[in-house]
């Protein structure tokens, strides 16, 4: 049996979109526009926009993994 459950950072995406009212693409674009930067600097940038640490970390990790 296949397990189609989303794992990793992307598992946070539905709650991030619901809580902050923006699509994930808006957040990942914001991260990309700040590159090159270190992971924790990017997390801090998202937190400065009111995002919680776990959600910010998930977006940064996912975005950097795509690069």
What pLDDT is stored for residue 7 in this prediction?
81
Residue 2 lies in a domain: no
Residue 19 lies in a domain: yes
16 pLDDT band, cuts 50/70/90, is very high
Residue 21 lies in a domain: yes
Structurally, the chain folds into a number of domains equal to 1
The fraction of the chain above a pLDDT of 70, given in percent, is: 96
In angstroms, rounded to a whole number, what is the distance separating the alpha carbons of residues 50 and 58? 15
What pLDDT is stored for residue 9 in this prediction?
81
Which residue range forms the structural domain that includes residue 34?
Answer: 10-66
Has residue 61 got a pLDDT over 60? yes
Instruction: Report, as an integer, the average pLDDT of 36-43.
Output: 98
Q: Mind listing the pLDDT tens digit for each residue in 2-14?
A: 567 878 888 889 9
Residue 30 lies in a domain: yes
In angstroms, rounded to a whole number, what is the distance separating the alpha carbons of residues 28 and 39? 13
Residue 1 lies in a domain: no
What is the pLDDT of the chain when averaged over all its residues? 92
């Amino acid at each position: 049996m296949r397990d189609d459950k989303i794992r990793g950072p992307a598992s946070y995406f539905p709650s991030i979109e619901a809580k902050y009212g923006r699509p994930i693409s808006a957040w990942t674009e914001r991260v990309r526009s700040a590159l090159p930067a270190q992971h924790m600097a990017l997390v801090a940038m998202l937190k400065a926009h009111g995002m919680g640490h776990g959600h910010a970390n998930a977006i940064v990790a996912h975005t950097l993994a795509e690069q």
